[in-house]
Amino acid sequence: MTVLGLTPEIEFLVQAVLKDQNRVPLGVIRARRSWRRDTFDTNPPLVSVVIPCYDQAHFLSEAIESVLAQTYPHFELVVVDDGSNDNTAAVVNRYPGIRYFRQENQGLAAARNAGLRQTMGEYLVFLDSDDRLLPSALEAGLRCFRENPACG
């Protein structure tokens, strides 16, 4: 099976999830709770995107813009500043509607966990601050879940 709109690397991760549902690689959309297949189109789920960031302000705007350019409109974006010494806050403040949290530097895992605690979505995507999503990434990931209800 091919999931349209995904890079070969992400396609590999999705296939790994389909083969072994007990081992979900980091960065792959994960379902927080079950949802009914027939309500997907009438009640679209909220996807939470968490971007942990530490001294990556020079890349951050590209990551944020890749999320804002998604074809799937039902998402929230949370940026967790893990004690950066650069202008991360100024970069985030250029974009309205993004939730920004700053914490003392505790490392990537702690920043991801802090971001997770601030989200409300049914699905979760971790996006590193120096990465970008393809415009249809959220839509393609959700389509994969809808077409393969055993995933998640």
Contacts of 84 (CB under 8 A, 6+ apart): 53, 54, 55, 56, 57, 102
Cα–Cα distance measured from residue 21 to residue 14, given in angstroms and rounded to the nearest whole number: 10
Domain boundaries, the chain: 27-135
Q: pLDDT, tens digit, for every residue of 132-151?
A: 999 999 999 999 988 988 87
**CA–CA gap between residue 41 and residue 146 (Å, rounded):** 10
Q: Rounded to an integer, what distance in angstroms lies between the CA atom of residue 53 and that of residue 111?
A: 8
Fold of 27-135: Spore Coat Polysaccharide Biosynthesis Protein SpsA; Chain A (3.90.550)
pLDDT of residue 28: 46
**pLDDT < 50 regions, the chain:** 1-4, 20-28, 31-38
pTM value?
A: 0.74
